[in-house]
Amino acid sequence: MLLDLVKFLLVAILAAVGANAAAGSLQQVTNFGSNPTNVRMYLYRPSGVAANPALIVAMHYCTGSAQAYFSGTQYANLADQYKSFIVIYPSAPDSGGCWDVHTDATLTHNAGGDSLGIASMVRYAIANYGVDSGRVFMTGTSSGAMMTNVLAGAYPDLFKAGAAFAGVPYACFAGSNMWNSQCAQGTLTMTAQQWGDLVRNGYPGYTGARPNDTTLSYNNFGEAIKQWTNVFGYSTTPVTTQSNSPLSGWTRSTYGPNFQAISAANVPHDIPVQATDVLAWFGLTGTTTTSTPTSTSTPPPSTTPTSTPPAPTTTAGGATQVQWGQCGGNGWTGPTICASPYTCKVLNAWYSQCL
């Protein structure tokens, strides 16, 4: 199963959300197995954790780090509370803090890239910390959400479920040099079959159970829904929809028992991570993420979004970008001037944003 929390604009930075009150600290782990790109592994294991705990792999955004995601999310704090799981916080080796979600190696089972380093962490945790191999989960924001989808496609044998907060579909960045403007701007479209074939090619011959997730610049929301409903054999029309779930203004669509997609209207890229909802989806708490739907038949989000991104304004000097919109970076051909009072801030070589 997988929950995907989405917003209407894909970018590559997340502001820290909520201070973490975890009692312990991160422990760096080395020599954990095959790690061709030198991804760093950090572990949070709460005092008194149960035997055979579950595992959550929590992956940071571009410009982030394991320490930033540890401090900016509540997973470690919740691990202290429930004592039923441990958390691995990988740290990307890229100088800009972004994950490799574009190379053939990272998109292919056991072929290399950042994804293999993370898979090795999971295998190490199962062998050395008594982790229950049937309760391994993944989550991430922005670039970390993209890696969540990569792992869902390339390592479906390792993960039970995932939760992606504002990313892009599996292989949407394939063949690029770290950043793919066509994908990021939501102009890369394929059929459901084409998207699904990309996932199946990540681990050729695999026929077992799969985790799932979707991701998004808002147009990517529909593309990812096409991708994962095709993989699971579901219709792109949701079975149920639920308004104001998990927050007011957010809409949860359920396409089958293994796939939900949540659209968050009017939410900037620093989308608030709903850690307790994620734990419920993973089955690590006594609550569930579904309830009586408010409707049972709606147009598929892949063709009829519940909200659309604000259009750039136009001035005498040409188009200007809105708040949170992209305004620069390698390969960017859109507006480079931000609407007042916002300014274009360079976040990394591939992405500048109106803040």
pLDDT at 331: 62
For 230, the enclosing helix (H) or strand (E) is helix 218-232
Q: What's the CA gap between 78 and 273, in Å, rounded?
A: 13
pLDDT tens-digit series, residues 141-191: 889 989 999 999 999 999 998 888 877 888 888 987 777 778 877 788 899
What is residue 22's three-state secondary structure?
coil
Tokens of 39: 């991804």
User: What's the chain's length in residues?
Assistant: 355
Q: Which distant-in-sequence residues (6+ apart) come within 8 Å of 242 by Cβ?
A: 251, 252, 253, 254, 290, 291, 292, 293, 294
Tokens of 116: 């293999």
CA angle 149, 107, 352 (to 5 degrees): 65
Alpha carbon separation from 101 to 92, 104, 311, 336 (Å, rounded): 11, 9, 28, 26
DSSP string over 273-296: P-HHHHHHHHT-SS--S----SBS
Contact 307, 251 (CB under 8 A): no
Alpha carbon separation from 145 to 185, 286, 320 (Å, rounded): 16, 25, 28
Instruction: Classify burial at 30, counting beta carbons within 10 Å of its beta carbon; exposed 0-12, middle 13-18, buried 19 or more.
Output: exposed
Q: What's the CA gap between 350 and 112, in Å, rounded?
A: 23
Long-range contacts, 26-30 (Cβ 8 Å, 24+) = 26/66, 26/67, 26/70, 26/89, 29/121, 29/124
Name the residues annotated as catalytic.
Answer: 142
For 202, the enclosing helix (H) or strand (E) is helix 192-202
Instruction: For domain 27-282, give its CATH number from 3.10.20.30, 1.10.10.10, 2.60.40.420, 3.40.50.1820.
Output: 3.40.50.1820
- Cα dihedral sign, 252-68-18-98: negative
DSSP string over 101-157: -SSTTTTSTTS-HHHHHHHHHHHHHHHHS---TTSEEEEEETHHHHHHHHHHHH-TT
Query: Which residues face 162 on adjacent strands?
Result: 2, 138
Question: What is the pLDDT tens value at each position of the chain, 355 positions in all?
Answer: 444 443 222 222 333 334 455 888 999 999 999 999 999 999 999 999 999 999 999 999 988 999 999 999 999 999 999 999 999 999 999 988 999 999 999 999 999 999 999 999 999 999 999 999 999 999 998 899 899 999 999 999 999 988 888 778 888 889 877 777 788 777 888 998 998 999 999 999 999 988 854 434 467 778 888 887 888 899 989 899 888 877 777 788 888 888 888 777 666 555 667 777 788 878 888 544 443 333 322 223 332 233 333 333 333 346 787 765 677 776 677 788 988 888 887 765 556 767 7
For 232, the enclosing helix (H) or strand (E) is helix 218-232
Q: What's the CA gap between 341 and 338, in Å, rounded?
A: 8
Domain chopping of the chain, boundaries: 27-282, 325-354
Where do we find the tokens 């992606």?
164
Beta strand ranges found along the chain (DSSP E)? 2-6, 27-29, 40-44, 54-59, 85-91, 136-141, 161-165, 240-243, 250-256, 259-264, 314-315, 318-319, 326-328, 344-348, 351-354
